Amino acid sequence: MKTIIQIVFIFIFSFIKTFTTSAEIEGLRINEIMYSPINGEAEEWVELYNPGEIEIKIIGGTGRSAWTLVDSSGPHFLSEQPEKGSLSIGPKEYLVIANDAGLFLAKHQGFSGSVVDTTMSMPNDFGYLQVRNGLGITISQAIWSFHLGADRNGKTLEFDGGIFREGIRDTGTPGEKNSVDGLLLPPAPSPVLPSTKPTPSIQIIQQRTGKIAINEVFYSPGRNSQPWIELKNNETQIISLDGWKIVELNVKKETFLKNPIPGNSFRIIALPGLNKKTETLQLFDAENKKVFEVKYSSQIPQDWSASRFENSSWKITSRPSPEKENVYFIPKEIKEIFVPQELIPIINFENATANQLINEPSRAEVNKDSLITNGLLISSSLTIIFVFIKKKLLI
């Protein structure tokens, strides 16, 4: 009898422990990027690092729970099975997502971590990356431009306390401590993302002012992300940003811009250290005329953004969309309990049109369904065991 009861408790404890661990999702970090290899894009790769204390399981394949790597060309699924190792990343372990996993392993034969194949297309001039889980939630993201270095010189961009900078070692440090970690180095430049340069044979007249708006503000990054703003050129003509600047009014900080922005297109500007609670952002043109201003004074959830929609209405969204048209999405349970008291221009959750809403099961809804299912399983198991015990006692 005592033995049977012990078995019951061991079963329940093991089941609950397994379920709790699988429900916890710690953030991964994009830790190193080979975006501009000397021998072409087949050698592109991205290293993920688990800085936490809990094992993280990435799901490959194309199912509803599959994770994706998002770059400027769109989302990409990962192979269902890794080329080497496992899709579970233990504490302080690494996983490399490669454009050609076999080629990566041939060039890095001493790499002891896991490697998985995908298809990626990282431009050599500028771009961004996002790692999303099966619910579409961004776990980590990074932006870069060739101004940061590692442009066709055999080196990589390495994460260094909230920013990316060019590494010291040729071919990078996959599976190892980053080469810039702990070194006293000069400040890294901000990634200024330029547009495609016009061909020398065509003369293009570029305006020095125009209808450019601050279109999205990513000011509440998680520990694996960095703050940025998105500009949108609402003109049909190219506008030169030489001499333009972003002003963070509260801290009196100026970020100067350069390079042209094509008509009806976007530009991401990194703003390291952007205040997570309150700031007034101002955009000045080359004639020092203020062309746009937005103020925020509310905290929002990590890795969300404040996005501008029609008629300059602003809303917060759980799905940042750098260099793309903004998407309004807030999980239902959060929408019901979380409404910032102040964000200027004011946020109105209720004026999103139906085609802006993306109906997808939220994390809370998925976990609720899982709890119900698992509760039924436990209940059924206990019923069977107690019936068995009762029969034994009657005998």
State yes or no: pLDDT of 288 exceeds 60: yes
Confidence class for position 281, pLDDT limits 50, 70, 90:
very high
In the chain, % of residues over pLDDT 90: 35
336-343: Cβ within 8 A, 24+ apart: 338/301, 340/298, 340/299, 340/300, 340/316, 341/298, 342/297, 342/298, 343/296, 343/297, 343/298, 343/306, 343/314, 343/316
Question: Can you give the residue ranges of every domain in the chain?
Answer: 27-191, 192-360
pTM of the predicted structure, to 2 decimals: 0.50
Cα 194 versus chain centre, distance: 21
- Which numeric CATH code is attached to 27-191? 2.60.40.1260
What does the mean pLDDT of the chain come to? 76
pLDDT reported for residue 385: 54
State yes or no: pLDDT of 208 exceeds 80: no
Confidence class for position 246, pLDDT limits 50, 70, 90:
very high
Q: Report the greatest alpha carbon distance in the chain.
A: 98
CA–CA separation, 314 and 54 (whole Å): 37
CA–CA separation, 83 and 29 (whole Å): 21
CB 213 within 8 A of CB 202: no
Tell me, yes or no, if the two domains 27-191 and 192-360 fold the same way. Answer: yes
Residue type, 369: D
Superfamily of domain 192-360: Lamin Tail domain (2.60.40.1260)
pLDDT digit string, tens, across residues 32-55:
999 999 988 889 999 999 998 999
State yes or no: pLDDT of 259 exceeds 90: no
Torsion of CA 212, 216, 217, 222, to 10 degrees: -150
pLDDT digit string, tens, across residues 80-105:
999 999 999 999 999 999 999 999 99
Helix axis angle, 2-23 to 363-394, nearest 10°: 170
Confidence class for position 394, pLDDT limits 50, 70, 90:
low
pLDDT digit string, tens, across residues 298-327:
888 888 999 988 777 888 888 899 988 998
Put residue 182 in one of left, alpha, beta given phi > 0 → left and psi -120 to 50 → alpha: left
